[in-house]
Amino acid sequence: MIALVILAAAVGWVLMHHQQWNEGRIAADVQRFGLWAPAAFVALYVVATVLLVPGAILTLTGGGIFGPLWGTVWNLVAATMSASVAFLISRYIAAEWVRARAGPRLSRIIEGAEAEGWRFVAFTRLVPIFPFNPLNYALGLTRIRFATYALTSAVCMLPGSIAYSYLGYAGRAAASGNLDAIRYGIIGFGLIGALAVLPPLLRRWRAQPDGDTVDDPARAQVELDRSHPPT
């Protein structure tokens, strides 16, 4: 009960101070740590996304701070850790809170995840239209094994981490007058475009042996968006 109160209070504080979560401020705060900047970034990423700060902002910032290579590494580490922490909170601490927030539409997500297991997790991680933060909590209410969830998330979030790291680096380089940033921006947008065409291919791959498929995760995405209106 105490943990739920603390979690709710922390989420409320973040929502009231959402204007402070911008790329420039985050980058300045992280870079103050010098050699410990990667550890500070990962810790900030995990805490922030668990408290429902949009992960895209932090992922772009990671690319801007550390570049396309190391930005991808630290973004992937941070995203995997934050996804794991939210999953465990939902499963062992705040299950009722998550159910109440998600509402009755959560059942479609749970049904899809439990019917397909790691394939459902892979689809939602590969396609960048799914909301990272609510999905982490929602999947914690399923019977998916934690090890399967964490490993599948790490592998399938890699393409998105690469794309957003390139975009973050391109944006920061362009702001400093580096014209070579256009190349990195094109790479980033190209990767995101490639991810956007994945759904039709993945739907075929997810087909059941008898020719039927379980509920489309895209429908689950719509339901999840409706139950989590923008704040």
Report the share of the chain in percent with pLDDT over 90. Answer: 26
- 176 contacts 169 by C-beta, under 8 angstroms: no
> CA-to-CA distance for 14 and 18, rounded, in angstroms?
6
Q: What is the pLDDT of residue 137?
A: 92
Range of the domain at 94: 2-227
Q: What is the pLDDT of residue 30?
A: 87
Is pLDDT of 136 > 50? yes
Overall domain count for the chain = 1
Q: Would you place residue 213 in the very low, low, confident or very high pLDDT band (cuts 50, 70, 90)?
A: very low
Is pLDDT of 41 > 70? yes
- On average, the pLDDT of the chain sits at 75
Q: Would you place residue 196 in the very low, low, confident or very high pLDDT band (cuts 50, 70, 90)?
A: low
Is pLDDT of 230 > 70? no
Beta strands in the chain (DSSP E): none
> CA-to-CA distance for 188 and 159, rounded, in angstroms?
10
3-class SS of residue 229: coil
Write out the two tokens for 74.
Answer: 């630290």
- 138 contacts 224 by C-beta, under 8 angstroms: yes
Q: Would you place residue 14 in the very low, low, confident or very high pLDDT band (cuts 50, 70, 90)?
A: very low
Q: Would you place residue 187 in the very low, low, confident or very high pLDDT band (cuts 50, 70, 90)?
A: low
Handedness of CA 138, 63, 162, 56 (dihedral sign): positive
The mean pLDDT value for 55-65 works out to 88
Q: Would you place residue 43 in the very low, low, confident or very high pLDDT band (cuts 50, 70, 90)?
A: very high
* pTM for this prediction: 0.73
User: At which residue do the structure tokens 């570049």 appear?
Assistant: 67
Q: What is the pLDDT of residue 177?
A: 61
Spatial CB neighbours of 160, under 8 Å, sequence gap ≥ 6: 59, 125, 126, 128, 192, 195
CA–CA distances in Å: residue 193 to residues 129, 167, 187, 212: 12, 13, 10, 28
Residue 211 backbone zone (phi > 0: left; psi -120 to 50: alpha; other: beta): left
- 153 contacts 123 by C-beta, under 8 angstroms: no
Report the share of the chain in percent with pLDDT over 70. Answer: 61
